[in-house]
Amino acid sequence: MRGLAKTDRTEGAMELIDVDRPEPGPGEALVEVAYAGLCGSDAGIYEFESAFERMELPTIIGHEYAGTVVETGTDVAEYEVGDRVVERPIRGCGECYQCRIGEENVCRNSTITGVDHHGAYTQFVAVPEGALHPIPDGLALADAAIVEPTSIGARAVIQNSRTSPGDRVLVAGPGPIGQLTAQIARAQGGDVAVAGVGQDAEYRLPLAEELGFDTINVEEADLDAIREERTDGVGYDVVFDTTGHPSGLTMAVDEVRKGGQIVLVGQTGETTMPYSPLVRGEIDLQCSYASMYEDFERSLRMIDSGTVDTDSFVDDRFSLLEADDAFEAFVAGQTCKPRFDVSELHA
């Protein structure tokens, strides 16, 4: 079978390679992949950021996907052939302290699909049944392929923020996680604005407007004046930083109200800033990483109900057969959530 793999420790270096079709081991199901999304971490692999130095190459990437069980190994009890599923791609060890207390998303020994082992940009993946999640009847596989990034936004908003009806919320970063976070924060009753930079003005900020949000281009707007208008000068109750850029956190500190909350979702890297204003303002700085079973369950329901709009959100223009186009467009901010039809690889 064919799969799109990272093949060299340089920028780009994505190639279609041939690998053996996996055989499901004990406790594993073999899933035929139908659709798969492109995530910011996939783009990080494409650019080969330092976080991915641990990868053994070549590795087939991709971790946001939906598919159908076509074979099961021994001892599989919960799934059978024909079941439609998604995968929770961070696989905990089940033995460390974090796993034992129900914090598998921060397992000390976790492995990640598409990073530490072959991922979903291929025809078949073998998955431990404990990492699978069933898709509700009636929800299309194409829509279910967006559940993994949705679950990250769901955890950030529902589990880790204190967003309440009437709260004034700012989402910094109109990338895929930002767009999803904004939709979920609105569903929680927040009055949400989405901020981006000049690069986002072509595609991502207009997408946020199409989804019904007020938008702010921070490179052109007077942030002080907008904050005065939107919050009566108080500041935002909750600011979500989904930018993954060092400037996101410093902007969040400027925009949040005293006694408010910053939820750090994007992986910022290194940044330098004065921390005394956070202490003096008693600002809650909350981190949110990945997701767990309940976040997937909520996300599937929100997509199924239309609370999260996948029709406007996804971009089906791209092909795994010419994947560089998707990655370059993503990095340049000319798309937000590419979704691949993986059946192309069967030809």
For the chain, 347 residues long, give each residue's pLDDT as a single digit of tens. Answer: 999 999 999 999 999 999 999 999 999 999 999 999 999 999 999 999 888 999 999 999 999 999 999 999 999 999 999 999 999 999 999 999 999 999 999 999 999 999 999 999 999 999 999 999 999 999 999 999 999 999 999 999 999 999 999 999 999 999 999 999 999 999 999 999 999 999 999 999 999 999 999 999 999 999 999 999 999 999 999 999 999 888 889 999 999 999 999 999 998 778 888 889 899 999 999 999 999 999 999 999 999 999 999 888 899 999 999 999 999 999 999 999 999 999 999 86
Identify the pLDDT of residue 271.
Answer: 83
**268 vs 6, 159, 262, CA distance in Å?**
23, 21, 13
* pTM score: 0.95
Identify the pLDDT of residue 91.
Answer: 93
Identify the pLDDT of residue 245.
Answer: 87
Pairwise CA distance, residues 68 & 108, whole Å: 30
Tell the burial category of 20 from Cβ atoms under 10 Å away from its Cβ (0-12, 13-18, 19+): exposed
Q: What six digits make up the tokens of 171?
A: 């989402």
First-residue to last-residue Cα distance in the chain: 10
Q: What is the largest CA-CA distance in the chain?
A: 63
**174 vs 84, 197, 278, 313, CA distance in Å?**
30, 9, 25, 11
CB atoms within 10 A of CB 54: 9
Identify the pLDDT of residue 51.
Answer: 85
DSSP at 132: E
